[in-house]
Chain A
Amino acid sequence: MIDFTPTQEQQALIDVVRRFVREEIIPLEADLDPDASELKPADYARLKRKIQDLGLYGMDIPAEFGGPGLDVTTRALLAMEMTQHRGGLYTACYGVFGGAGLAQLYEATDDQKERYLYPTLKGEKHGFFGLSEPSGGSDPARAIRTRAVRDGDDWIINGAKLWISGADRADYGIVFTRTGEGREGITAFIIDTDTPGFQVRRVVHTLRSAHYATEMSFDDVRISDAQRLGPVGKGFSLANDRLSAQRIPYAAQCVGVAEVAHRMAIEYSKIRETFGQPLAARQGIQWMLVENEIDLRSARLLVLAAAVKADSGEDFRTEAAVAKIVATEAAGRVVDRAIQIHGGLGVSKELPLERWYRELRIRRIGEGPTEVQKMIIARDLLGKIAG
C-alpha cells in the first residue's frame, strides 16, 4: 500500500511554505487589484531575498544545476501549498520562489547554457516557449508550419506562433520549426527577440485579466546554426520529453486552489443563514460540500500517485495524464460549487472565487487538453489500435 503521508522533511517544507503564504503573500493581496499577477517591485525583491535565504529559491532547478533537488512528490506537495492565495493558480507566490527556466535548455550546448540557461536561472534573462501556431498546438508534429531553411552556416525562419506566453517580455525564445516532414521533421532553435525579422504582433486577451498570450511572426529571420537547440529533426522529442513531468505540478496547483475554495465554502455555509437556519443545515448544501470533498480527495490522491510513480523512475505518462484530467476538472467543479454556496458574493470580485473559476477553465486546455490526455491513456490501454 502506498502511504502518501508526508515525511518529516516534507512536512517541515510544507509548514514553511504554508506560513510564508499566510504571513507574507496574503496580506499583500489586500492592496493589489483582484486580478493582479505581480507584486510591487520592492515587495517582490524583499520576498525573493527571503526565499533565497531559506534555501528554497529555484526549487524546480535540477540539483546538477544548483537547485535543491526536490523529488516530484515533494514538489507536488509544495505546489498544493504555494497556490493557496488569490493569485496563486497561475502566479504562485507571485514568482518569488523563482522558476526553472525552460527545461529544454538543460539539453543545450555548453555555449548555449552560458548565454541562456544560467542567466535565466539567475533571473537575468527570460525566455518563451514557442510551440503552438495558428494551425494548432495539441498536435505540433503535424501543425507546425513555421519553416527553417538552411542557408550556409545560417538558417532562415519564416512563420508565426500563437498563444505564446511572455514573448513580449522575453529576451529569447525556444522556437520549434519545420525542417522536414512529420514528427522527425521538427527542429528547435533559440532566437533572441531583438533579431531582425522577429516581432510580437499582438497580445491575445483571455479569461485571465492580468495575463495574456501573444502572437508573433518570423519574417526571414536569419540565425546562426549555433542557435540550433539539439540535433536537426529532434525538436519534437525535445518538446515532449518534459511534458509529462510538468503535468504533475500543474495538476497539483489546481488541487491547492480548490482546497482553499472548499474551506471557504464550509466556513461560509456555517455562518450564512437563510430562512432561520445556516446553509450548512440544508441537505442540498451538505451534498455539494460532500461532492467537493470527494473530488478533492480523488484529485489529491491521483496527483500524488503520479508523483510517486515519476519518482520511481518508471514510465508515468498515463498516471500524469489521469492526474491532469482529474485535478483540472475536479478543481473546476469544486470552485463552481463554492461559488454557488456563496451566492452573489461568489461571483463578485470581493472574493477570489470568480478569478479561480475563470482561470481553472483554462487549465482544462493548457499543458495538453483533456482530450489529448485521454488519447495518451487510450493508447496505454489499447496499444496501436487506439491510433
Chain B
Amino acid sequence: MSGLGIRNDWQPLTAAAIGELPGTLGVFEIGDDQGHTLYIGYAGGRSLFGLRSPLGDYLAKPPVVNAQFRVELNMQYISRWKELLMDHQARHGSLPPLNPAEDAFALGHLGQQSGKTKK
C-alpha cells in the first residue's frame, strides 16, 4: 500500500504557511513534529476558502505542539480522502487517532483482508 499517501512535504502549521495555499479543494493531513499522521481530512464544496478553512481551524486549536500539515489539491476530494483513510488503515490497522469513529462508517479495505483460511 506504499505510494498512496500525500506526497507533498510536511509544513509547519503556521498562519504564513496556510496563507500561501490556494483556496482550492482537496485533502490534507495533520501530523505531529515527527511526521506521524494524526488526522486526515478534506476541504469540500462547502468549504469557504478551500483547504485554508479546515487548516485555519486546526491552527486555532492545534492538537499537539509543533503540529505539521501537508495537502494535496484534488477535486475528487471525497474518494481521495477515503483512499487515504483506507491506506492508513491498511498500514496501521486503524484510522489516524484524531479521526472520529464515524469516519470508518462504510469505509472499504485495500490490500489483503483478514486472510483467514477458507475451506
Q: Which residues of A164-192 have CB atoms within 8 Å of chain B's CB atoms? A: 166-169, 192
Q: With A and B bound together, what is the CA distance between A37 and B77 in angstroms?
A: 13
What is the minimal beta-carbon distance from B2 to any residue of chain A, in angstroms?
Answer: 12
Contacts of A223 in B (CB 8 A): 118
Q: Which of A41, A195, A202 contacts B118 (CB 8 A)?
A: A195
User: Chain B CB within 10 Å — which of A33, A41, A167, A198 has the most?
Assistant: A33
B119 close to chain A: CB less than 8 A = yes
Q: With A and B bound together, what is the CA distance between A33 and B72 in angstroms?
A: 18
B99 close to chain A: CB less than 8 A = no
Q: With A and B bound together, what is the CA distance between A203 and B78 in angstroms?
A: 12
Q: Which residues of B87-119 have CB atoms within 8 Å of chain A's CB atoms? A: 102, 105-119
Given contacts A209-B79, A210-B78, A212-B83, contact A192 B118 (CB under 8 A): yes
**Total contacting residues, chain A, CB less than 8 A:** 34
A194 touches B116 (CB 8 A): yes
Q: Which of A34, A196, A224 contacts B117 (CB 8 A)?
A: A196
A200 close to chain B: CB less than 8 A = yes
B4 touches A212 (CB 8 A): no
Q: With A and B bound together, what is the CA distance between A99 and B55 in angstroms?
A: 38
Q: With A and B bound together, what is the CA distance between A208 and B82 in angstroms?
A: 13
Given contacts A195-B118, A223-B118, contact A200 B108 (CB under 8 A): yes
What is the minimal beta-carbon distance from B110 to any residue of chain A, in angstroms?
Answer: 5
List the count of A-B residue pairs having beta carbons below 8 Å apart: 86
Q: With A and B bound together, what is the CA distance between A349 and B118 in angstroms?
A: 47
Residue of A nearest to B47 (CB): A33
B82 touches A34 (CB 8 A): no
Contacts of A169 in B (CB 8 A): 106-109
A168 touches B86 (CB 8 A): yes
Contacts of B75 in A (CB 8 A): 209
Q: With A and B bound together, what is the CA distance between A36 and B77 in angstroms?
A: 10
Q: With A and B bound together, what is the CA distance between A196 and B115 in angstroms?
A: 5
Given contacts A196-B112, A201-B110, A203-B82, contact A33 B117 (CB under 8 A): no
Chain B residues within 8 Å of A, Cβ to Cβ = 4, 44-46, 75-80, 82-83, 86, 102, 105-119
Chain A residues within 8 Å of B, Cβ to Cβ = 33-38, 41, 166-169, 192-196, 198-203, 205-206, 208-212, 214, 222-224, 349
Name 16 A/B residue pairs within 8 A (Cβ), A-sorted: A33-B45, A34-B46, A35-B78, A36-B78, A192-B118, A194-B116, A196-B112, A196-B118, A199-B112, A200-B110, A203-B82, A205-B80, A209-B75, A209-B79, A212-B76, A212-B82
